[in-house]
Every structure is written in C-alpha cells, then in structure tokens.
Structure 1
Amino acid sequence: MKPKAQKSTCTVLQVGPMPLYLEVPLHQEFNVHRLPDGGRQEFLATKAEHVNIAFTTSTVGVDGRLMRALPNLQAVINFGVGVDKTDVQTANELGILVSNTPDVLTDCVADVAVGLLIDVARGISAADRFIRRGDWAQGAYPLGMRVSGKRVGILGLGRIGLAIAGRLEGFGAHIAYHGRNRVVDVTYPWYDSLAELAQNSDFLIVAVSSSPATTGIVSREVLDALGPRGYLINISRGAVVDEDALVEALVQKRIAGAGLDVFAHEPHVPKELATLENVVLTPHLGSGTTETRQDMAELSLENLRKFVIDGTLITPFG
C-alpha cells in the first residue's frame, strides 16, 4: 500500500468559502485553518503568528487589516483573476506576494462577452420570453440590430480584450480600443479618450481590470457619448461602470441596451434592470464552466505548491 504523502509544514489560512473541487485537495495537501465568520479575534489571538500563506477567492479577498493581523504572512494565493477584493497596496507595503489565475479563463470570459453582445443586439433572451408568454400569436417580434460589420469599442485590450477582438473579427467587426497606452503589435485604432471611443462605437465592451484608477470610468459622460443606438457590454467588474448612471441611461433610453455579467454590489442587482427587455443579465458566469474552474483551481494550487517550495509564484499579480 502506497504511504500517504506528508502535508506541507507551512500553515495556510483559508479565507472564505471555496468549491469542494478546490477545498478538498487544499486540505488534503496542506495544513489549513479556516478563518471563522464569527470569533475572528479569538481565532487570530491563538493562530495568527503561525499563518504563512492566505488562500482566498476573487469574491472574498484579503483586506489590509487581516494582512496586518498576520505577522508572518508571506503570500496571498487567489482563486480567480480579479484581485480587487485584496488590498494589493498593503500587500506591497508589507512585502507580501499576491497571485491570481490569468489566462486559463480568458477564452470562456471572451465567449460570454460575444454571447451577451449577440443576445442583446438580436433580442434572443427577450424573444425567448416573448414565445413563452404566448405573444407570438398576437404579432411578430420586434426587429433587432445586425451584429456583423458593426463598430466595436473595447475598453481594455489585455488578454481578454484581445480574445474578444479575435472572435469579433469573424463577424467583420470594425474594432477600436481605449487603454492607458497603445498595445504593441496591434493594428486596431487606439483612442486616448474613452468618451470618443464610445461615440464611435455601436457596442462598447468593458474588459479592463478593476482598480481605483478604473472605478466608475464608464461614466455618465461615456454613456451619453455611446448614445441611443449604442450598447454596453460588461464582463469586467461592476465597479468599473457608474451603475446609477447606467440604470438611468437604460430607463431613459439614452443608450440602446446592455449585456451585463457583473454588477457593483453582487449578488444584489438594481431592480430596475430586471424590468427592461433591452438588457441581458447573467450572474457573473464569465469563467463559469467546469473546465475553466478546474483549470483555475489547479493553477491556484500550483501557485501554492511553488511558493512553499521556493518562495516564488507561477502567476504573480502585477
């Protein structure tokens, strides 16, 4: 009988709930404590000094207060590409390394972006409801907008933005983008003004990373520039868009519609959005496929293993 592998001597703090396909191997391979929801101070009083690594998810993260309460914390391993819930600035100040899981979710998130675009332009989800209500017997469904050959502006031409652009080239889309800097080896037009990009787009796709610098960057001004024939697609983070301004623009029909996979206060979604036929809503399912989540889990575990072995990360953030 093969002997059981010895657990690592490093102590890992699990911050927040995790799917079983990640939590089970994590606890099998490492010495793990769960940070309790209640009695946190009592827990930290006895366990804090033993913790070397925090393991968390992009929806929970590790804040600066917790980092400072763990005097021997050396790394934060993140299950997910977004680190907006983790205080990266404090981590940098304290010399704590942070990892995330880029690349492995790029294709699935890009697929969702294109799916939302087609859905909201052609009214596929709304047409499904139209049939289910029995409305077809009373008349034809309203006309939608052609997708092929349209102008698509992409906010953030990183891994995911480029994957979205590649897919939309198959639709003959005219692609342009906005970011802090031009992207090397890309022929798409670059706009130094997001409002100007929006003004020259039929669809504006938000694929930029969430950070203090991008919070609310899709503002009322940008939405007004997109205009009553323009659609917004967001697969980034809800905080990147001024959600109050977006709801107002949709209700007042100052933009044509939206496809939204992310929201400012998840899982809470503005109730006005649920009443609009020109809005497609999905519950942050960009990376939500079995294959991608397994790949994300394995990459986060590989980051943890790598750090335990030699103090480095496979995919460090930043």
Structure 2
Amino acid sequence: MATAETSPNSIAAQDVHLGGVLMVGPLKPSLAATLTERYNALDLPMGDGRSNFLREHAESVTAVVTSGRTGVDATLMTALPRLGAIVHFGVGYDTTDVALAEERGIGVSNTPDVLTDCVADTAVGLLIDTLRGFSAADRYVRAGRWPVDGNFPLTRKVSGTRVGIVGLGRIGSAIATRLEGFGCSISYHNRHEVPGSAYTYVDSVVKLAAGVDVLVVAAAGGRGTEKLVDRAALEALGPDGYLINVARGTVVDEEALVELLTERRLAGAGLDVFTDEPHTPEALLALDTVVLLPHVGSGTVETRAAMEALTLRNLDDFLTSGTLTTPVVQPKVLAR
C-alpha cells in the first residue's frame, strides 16, 4: 500500500476529510445542491475565470465530482496537487485520463449496475422503434398524411432477428437477456470470450456485423474502443442491417455511419449517443430511417436517484476512509 510520501497526489486518510470537494462540469441539480450544502463544494468555472480560480483553490481540493460527459483531463489533474479521488456520476469515465490518475495515485469511481436496466431498456426500445419505424409513423400521423397518402410503409419484424452485441458486459448482457424474450439469436464480440456464456462468440466486429441483422453497441468508451465499429464493420452490416448505439458516440465511426445511412447503404440506426454531444450530425435529422435520442439511456427518475446516491456514497467513503465504494481505480492512501 502506498504511503503519502510515495505519490505527489497521495494524502493520508486522516487528512482526507479536511480537503475540499470540487464540482467539474454540469451535474444533476439535486446532486449539485447536496454537494454545495453538505460539503461546501466549489464549482469549477468555465472559460476565463478558471485560471484565477485554480490559483486560489487548487491546493485545497482533494476530491472532484464530475460526470462521464465532462471528466478530468490531464491538464486539470496536474493542476490539483492534492487530488486524491475523481468521483463520476455515471458509468462512463472515458473523458477522464484514468492512466494518469492511476500513475499519480488518484482514485477513480463510477456508478455501475444501478443504470444497467434502464440503459438496456433503452437499447431494446431503440431497436424496436428503429426496425418498426414507430417514431416515423407517429410523425406521419401528426403531419396529417394518413388520410392523404394512405397506409404507412411496411417495416421490419423484430422477433426472431439475428442480433450482434459489441460489448457483453453488464449492459450488453442485460440487453441480450431481454432480446431472448423476442426469440432473437444472439452473438457477441468482446475483448475476450465470456466463460460460460450461452451466446455465440465472434472474434471480430466485422465478422459479427456480417452475420447479423442488427448490431447493438454496448462497449465502454475510451481510447481502446475508439471507432471499434469502423467503416468495414458498417459496410459488412450492409443495406439490410441496422445499428443501435447506447454506448459512446466515439465507439462508432460516425462519419462513415452518416455516409452509409444517407446513401441507403444501411437500413437504419437508433442512436442515443454521438461523437460531439450535444451536437448531432445535421444529415441525420431528415432521415426517417434513424431514431435520435439526446443521451437519455439512464434518464429515469429512479435510476438517476440511485446514481446520485452511489456518487455520494463514493465521496463519503473517500472523505472518511480514503477508499471508494465502486472503484475503477482505488486511491493510494493510507488506511484509517
């Protein structure tokens, strides 16, 4: 176990509770309010005021609370010399430089499990909507086209489709379980084959895409999975294939995806995530073959409350004992 002297960012646990809490990026309002009221947390300003703020407060900060959409990059991490933990509201942490955090003895946590069900539900909902065209059919009715243009065009059956899942972790497995109820055949690609899995393992994303009707992306974001679903995979999915993405926009080659969708070389896509959020490729807005959601995979009252509670539990554990409840990387601090 590292001591306070072995890392420039390690802090003895008995001193941790004396440190300050810093909020980085937008957070759920109730979480931000609790952090402000209960922990006297500071809010890192954006833009020109950041440098002055850090000069005044950087030495007092021992814990950061952020989200997967914002994170803590190398520049900010280096500017906080006593930082001991980065606590994420959300399962994703690809916006944080985890490798540097581990090198500097800084703990990193996220909120796994509590959002698995809602994200899996979202994936299945997107799959059904995209194949059956329900959102497009709703727009058809609202535009008054039914009595004028007749019946809505036929769409694609969901039950019995061949589904490939990229990333058979907690969320990917929950998606697979739900789709079994639709009689779908399930195959998957992972970094490694999952021992004991009932689903068919495929050793490349391209091979997986070539053998399915629907490709569901549930892999973690980050440098290791950037454009994991590349142009070759999308082309292998083909003009009758559909893509569903509830992971991170960066996992898919978005430029290739937009091109293939606009050229009708993919049948459709259901997307909850994008490369440059909140911006969405303009070319997709006019396509009835695409369902677009504003990153709401975990966006239910129950799940966000559970995420908030787990975020605060991680923070409390760090401030009192120097450990994290659901660590990606445990902080290197002395046990209490």
Q: TM-score range by the shorter chain?
A: over 0.9
- 1:174 equivalent to 2:185? Answer yes
Q: Distance in 2 between matches of 1:59 and 1:300?
A: 15
Give the total of aligned pairs. 311
Q: Secondary structure of the equivalent of 2:103?
A: helix
* Deviation string, structure 1 residues 60-89 (Cα, Å, up to 9, x no partner): 111111111111111101111110111111
Query: 2:256 is matched with which residue?
Result: 245
Q: Which amino acid aligns with 2:255?
A: D
CA contact (8 A) 1:9 1:31 kept: no
Equivalent in 225, 236, 239 of residue 225 of structure 1: 236
Structure possessing the higher relative contact order (Cα contacts under 8 Å, 6 or more residues apart): 2
* Deviation string, structure 1 residues 116-149 (Cα, Å, up to 9, x no partner): 0000111100000111111112221111111111
Query: 2:123 is matched with which residue?
Result: 113
Query: 1:88 is matched with which residue?
Result: 98
Q: How does 1:5-154 map to 2 (within 5 A)?
A: 9-37=18-46, 38-137=48-147, 138-154=149-165
Instruction: Give the CA deviation at 1:24.
Output: 1.6
Instruction: Give the CA deviation at 1:14.
Output: 1.1
Q: Distance in 1 between matches of 2:170 and 2:186?
A: 15
Name the Cα RMSD after superposition: 1.0
Question: Between the two proteins, what is the percent identity of the paired residues?
Answer: 55
CA contact (8 A) 1:9 1:30 kept: no
More divergent stretch after superposition (262-271 vs 33-42): 33-42
Q: How does 1:154-173 map to 2 (within 5 A)?
A: 154-173=165-184
Q: Secondary structure of the equivalent of 1:228?
A: coil
Q: Which amino acid aligns with 1:11?
A: G
Query: 2:306 is matched with which residue?
Result: 295
- 1:194 equivalent to 2:205? Answer yes
Q: Distance in 2 between matches of 1:87 and 1:158?
A: 22
Q: Secondary structure of the equivalent of 1:54?
A: strand
Q: Secondary structure of the equivalent of 1:89?
A: helix
* Deviation string, structure 1 residues 284-316 (Cα, Å, up to 9, x no partner): 000001111111011000000011111111101
* Deviation string, structure 1 residues 261-281 (Cα, Å, up to 9, x no partner): 000000110111011010000
Query: 1:4 is matched with which residue?
Result: none
* Deviation string, structure 1 residues 230-259 (Cα, Å, up to 9, x no partner): 100000000001101000000111111000
Instruction: Give the CA deviation at 1:9.
Output: 3.1
Instruction: Give the CA deviation at 1:17.
Output: 2.3
Q: Which amino acid aligns with 1:153?
A: G
Query: 1:278 is matched with which residue?
Result: 289
TM-score, length-normalised on structure 1?
Answer: 0.96
Q: Distance in 2 between matches of 1:260 and 1:30?
A: 37
Q: Secondary structure of the equivalent of 2:236?
A: helix
Q: Distance in 2 between matches of 1:296 and 1:141?
A: 40
TM-score, length-normalised on structure 2?
Answer: 0.91
Q: Distance in 2 between matches of 1:213 and 1:304?
A: 27
Structure 1 moving runs of 4+ over 3 Å:
none
Q: Which amino acid aligns with 1:179?
A: N
Q: Secondary structure of the equivalent of 1:52?
A: strand
Equivalent in 222, 233, 247 of residue 211 of structure 1: 222
Q: Secondary structure of the equivalent of 1:275?
A: coil
CA contact (8 A) 1:10 1:30 kept: no
* Deviation string, structure 1 residues 138-167 (Cα, Å, up to 9, x no partner): 221111111111100000000000000000
Is there any run of 5+ residues in structure 2 with no aligned partner, and where?
1-16, 330-336
Q: Distance in 2 between matches of 1:265 and 1:36?
A: 21
Q: Distance in 2 between matches of 1:210 and 1:59?
A: 11
Is there any run of 5+ residues in structure 1 with no aligned partner, and where?
1-7
Q: Secondary structure of the equivalent of 1:125?
A: helix
